[in-house]
Amino acid sequence: MEVIIDANIFVAALLKKGATRKLLLNDELVLYAPEYVIEEIFDHLQEFETKSHLSRISLEELVKVLIIESKMNIIPKDELRPFIKKADEITPDPDDVMYFAAALKQNIGIWSNDKEMKKQKVINVYSTNDLVKLYEFV
């Protein structure tokens, strides 16, 4: 299954070993993320240091390992531009427009625990619980 990964999902996997991290590293999931998600994660590393009790260097390494091990495909901003107008029309939250643009580009759903995203009916949105049920290994 292919999905666009929400930044909060990646952060959950970063901060805690658990179901989210297992799913992130599951070979049956093919993950995509808009380029800005990675930028956001690196911009908030200091905040994550406090929550995780890991050093910045350790967090940076863990981010890189999770991206590599999950085989995450990063979608450059330029490739999303043609999809932004339609994404803006369907997203319930303007802050999520890049996720919807990426989902439209790839013609796949989004992995997010944001209930607001499910208020539209164009793009499938899967919660972590939805994926745990689908991949009963966790």
pTM, rounded to two decimals: 0.92
If we measure between CA atoms, which residue out of 88, 64, 82, 83 comes closest to residue 74?
64
- At 1, list the tokens: 């299954």
- At 112, list the tokens: 């997010």
Q: What are the structural domain ranges in the chain?
A: 2-134
Report yes or no: 120 and 113 within 8 Å, Cβ to Cβ: no
Report yes or no: 99 and 80 within 8 Å, Cβ to Cβ: no
pLDDT digit string, tens, across residues 37-96 = 988 898 888 889 888 888 989 999 999 999 999 999 999 999 999 999 999 999 999 999
Q: Which fold has domain 2-134?
A: Rossmann fold (3.40.50)
Distance CA 29, CA 77 (A): 22
pLDDT digit string, tens, across residues 87-122 = 999 999 999 999 999 999 999 999 999 999 999 999
